[in-house]
Structure 1
Amino acid sequence: MVTILQVVPRLDAGGSELATIEIAQALSRAGARALVATEGGRMAEAVGKAGGEIVPLPVASKSPFTILANIGRLTKLIRDRKVDLVHARSRAPAWSALLAARRTGKPFVTTYHGAYGETGPFKAAYNSVMAKGDRVIANSRYTASVIEARDASARDRIRVIYRGVDRSVFDPAAVDAQAVDALRAAWGVPPGTKIVLHAARLTSIKGQRDLIAAAALANAEGALRDAVVILAGDAPGHDAYREELTGLIARHGLGDKVRLVGHCREMPAAYLASQVAVTTSTVPETFGRTSAEAQAMGCPVIVPDLGALPETIVALGQSQAGFTGWLFPPRDIASLASRIGRALALTRAELASIGVRAREHVAANFTLAQMQGATLAVYDELLGTDLGERFERASPADLGAGGTNDR
């Protein structure tokens, strides 16, 4: 039996944590053994449910002494459990995992889940481990370009694999109409009122200030006459920012037009309830999960022409007949307001047409099964195995075309 060891600091919440569980599920489905070295967390139980096994290790620590000690711990684990390949998903444990893999002669894979800011030579050296894999998985072409700019020697080892949307969850047919009505009622949105949805945690890099300014401009032009803007997201450790946003809403006279509703647990229903989903990030995103999820629900999107976000949509102008959303210049309030106005002016027939195209776009490029199969295919490149084919045979109905681009 092929044994794959994934190494992730903790399993609390986030893209790397979710991907760890999703790959454990895919490995189990392909008949392989999935081990996860981690300090645990609230999502740890999901690894077992996915068919994987948790191996508790102190891999979240950034202490040099712990990182050095973890080399020995991981080396022993690799030998004792006959691990065939090691996959690291974060920088601190990646250093331990790299050296343990080299000691034991096992292939080493990394995944870039973020851009990892570099503010000096020490940080650049710390980040460099993520480009040292025998294969380096980037979650978008933008991320791949960042890796290449920092380490040109990694180019031929990079594999672009987009994040995947679980279409069994993000499926309009799977959402009860009552759930949509209940969510609208909880947000205080009357029947017939259109929703502009912004789903992101409350932090300045997500651009809520820009959206409020654009809403003020759109409202002045009458575009929000029968619409509201919903800011769905919590503010852990950012209470002052939430208060600032509340003040901005009041200052612009938007108390009845822009609402802070907190964290939303029913995102499929939220997208289904909305006329358009907006992303206003002020720094480059390395993928754009909310954009892909919204389109999977048939909801058109507006995103800045920044980072990997343009990769997630078919923009107006790229395909006049087939567009799924709009790009706008980053931080351009007037352009953002204009796109919001266009989206709110769409007829039901136009919305339905965009929705069909958006769902087809996600099905062709961003499904969970595609991400899982493409990742297992990377393992196959290094091991000479057929995990990807076995996974596909075990779940043919879930797989579509595309999803990976070798570089």
Structure 2
Amino acid sequence: MTSLPADFTLLQVTPELETGGAEQTTLDVAHAVIAAGGRALVAARGGRMVARLEADGGRLAQMPVQSKNPLVMLGNAARLTDLIRKEGVDLVHARSRAPAFSALWAAQAAKVPFIATYHGVYNAKSGLKRWYNAVMTRGDLVIANSEFTRDHVIAEHGIAPEKVVAIPRGIDLRRFEPGMVAPARVEALRTAWNVDPSERRMKVLLAGRLTRWKGQALLIEAAARLQIEGLGDKILFLLAGDDQGRTEYRAELEAAIRAAGLQDTVRLVGHCDDMPAAYLLADLAVAPSLEPEAFGRTAVEPQVMGRPVIAAAHGATRETVVPGETGWL
């Protein structure tokens, strides 16, 4: 374990701790800092993952950092400046664009280093949007979560390559360890998802929030084709993920399932807090993202749990899936 300076305090700033790869990485880094003897603070709106942060010994500084309202952002900068000075923060780490403005201003006011992690490949169709995205590059260092993302940041913003370092997202091997998952946890999910213990179909898991680019509609289309070809009784598709208020998209998916007569083949099982057990329940994982993943945690986690993955052949999944060995692209 890497040692930290005495009394080291890290402040991470992220919109919320609800669900997602950036949020999980926030918790992973907080856990590592605490394990190394430091203190971990997270400024965020809140969310269902706060309990896990606090269980690890981290602290939430609740504030509306998810807001894009300029007045609220200025208020957040003042609140963060006070927090940095009061808690003796040594490093400020932003994980999203809107919070990055407030975090950068606060770090500059308090004269502490500021870094940011590029968790996604942000689209910029105008100079204004490119300026907005570039806030992530205005600190002392930019962290990219894959070589794919690093190449994008350098090309998009024209910054010096030595200022951008690629650090792939980590997976907590204590949490994602097949031998540490009690059978009761798998059975609890089986019951919650209404998967009969005698189910003989191949169970295919797509984990990801319900948003169009994650490919849920594409998977339903594939399931419909399999049914037409007479293979519909061979596979059970489990789509795990929260709609996060995207009720129209969820309704669209439900309608597509009904229209294709796939009610017994495709199931929307909702948010899952126990992903290690979910992967053990499944036989195969899929990550059919329609747009390139900046990292693609759901293509990596199943491999750690001993399950192969089929992933879209673009973005950072080409760095994490070994075709024919750990999965297929």
Range of TM-score over shorter length: 0.7 to 0.9
Q: Which residue is equivalent to 1:336?
A: none
Q: Which residue is equivalent to 1:192?
A: 200
Q: Which residue is equivalent to 1:117?
A: 123
Larger helix fraction of residues: 1
Q: Which residue is equivalent to 1:313?
A: 321
Structure 2: which amino acid aligns with 1:101?
Answer: A
Q: For residues 213-232 of structure 1, what are the alpha-carbon distances to aligned partners after superposition, in whole Å with 9 as ceiling and x for unaligned?
A: 22233344454543322223
Tell me, in whole angstroms, the C-alpha distance in 2 between the residues paired with 1:210 and 1:279.
11
Compute the displacement of 1:15 (Å).
2.9
Tell me whether 1:49 sits opposite 2:55 in the alignment.
yes
Report if aligned partners of 1:132, 1:154 keep a CA contact under 8 Å in 2. Answer: no
Tell me whether 1:248 sits opposite 2:256 in the alignment.
yes
Q: Which residue is equivalent to 1:272?
A: 280
Q: Which residue is equivalent to 1:163?
A: 169
Correspondence 1:316-395 to 2 at 5 A: 316=324, 323-327=325-329
Tell me, in whole angstroms, the C-alpha distance in 1 between the residues paired with 2:129 and 2:307.
39
Show structure 2 runs of 5+ residues with no match: 1-6
Tell me, in whole angstroms, the C-alpha distance in 2 between the residues paired with 1:81 and 1:242.
42
Show structure 1 runs of 5+ residues with no match: 317-322, 328-407
Q: Helix, strand or coil for the counterpart of 1:278?
A: strand
Q: Helix, strand or coil for the counterpart of 1:153?
A: coil
Distance verdict in 2 for CA 1:176–1:151, change over 3 Å:
same
Paired-residue identity, %: 48
Tell me whether 1:294 sits opposite 2:296 in the alignment.
no
Correspondence 1:106-255 to 2 at 5 A: 106-181=112-187, 183-184=189-190, 186-189=193-196, 190-255=198-263
Tell me, in whole angstroms, the C-alpha distance in 1 between the residues paired with 2:274 and 2:287.
18
Distance verdict in 2 for CA 1:215–1:88, change over 3 Å:
same
Compute the displacement of 1:313 (Å).
0.8
- Which of 89, 92, 103 is the matching residue for 1:97? 103
Q: TM-score, normalised by structure 1?
A: 0.70
Compute the displacement of 1:88 (Å).
1.5
Report if aligned partners of 2:204, 2:284 keep a CA contact under 8 Å in 1. Answer: yes
Compute the displacement of 1:117 (Å).
2.6
Tell me, in whole angstroms, the C-alpha distance in 2 between the residues paired with 1:98 and 1:121.
21
Query: Aligned-pair RMSD on alpha carbons?
Result: 2.6
Structure 1: which amino acid aligns with 2:91?
Answer: L
Report if aligned partners of 2:207, 2:240 keep a CA contact under 8 Å in 1. Answer: yes
Tell me, in whole angstroms, the C-alpha distance in 1 between the residues paired with 2:187 and 2:80.
50
- Which of 12, 18, 26 is the matching residue for 1:6? 12
Tell me, in whole angstroms, the C-alpha distance in 1 between the residues paired with 2:215 and 2:42.
35
The alignment covers a number of residue pairs equal to 321
Tell me, in whole angstroms, the C-alpha distance in 1 between the residues paired with 2:299 and 2:277.
15
Structure 2: which amino acid aligns with 1:86?
Answer: V
Tell me, in whole angstroms, the C-alpha distance in 2 between the residues paired with 1:97 and 1:275.
43
Compute the displacement of 1:184 (Å).
4.0
Q: TM-score, normalised by structure 2?
A: 0.85
Q: Which residue is equivalent to 2:88?
A: 82
Report if aligned partners of 2:28, 2:172 keep a CA contact under 8 Å in 1. Answer: no
Greater gyration radius: 1
Structure 1: which amino acid aligns with 2:182?
Answer: D
Structure 1: which amino acid aligns with 2:220?
Answer: I
Structure 2: which amino acid aligns with 1:210?
Answer: L
The 10-residue stretch of structure 1 (129-138 or 248-257) with the greater mean CA deviation from structure 2: 248-257
Q: Helix, strand or coil for the counterpart of 2:285?
A: strand
Report if aligned partners of 1:171, 1:268 keep a CA contact under 8 Å in 2. Answer: yes
Compute the displacement of 1:308 (Å).
1.6
Q: Tell which has more relative contact order, 1 or 2 (C-alpha 8 A, sep 6+).
A: 1
Structure 2: which amino acid aligns with 1:168?
Answer: R
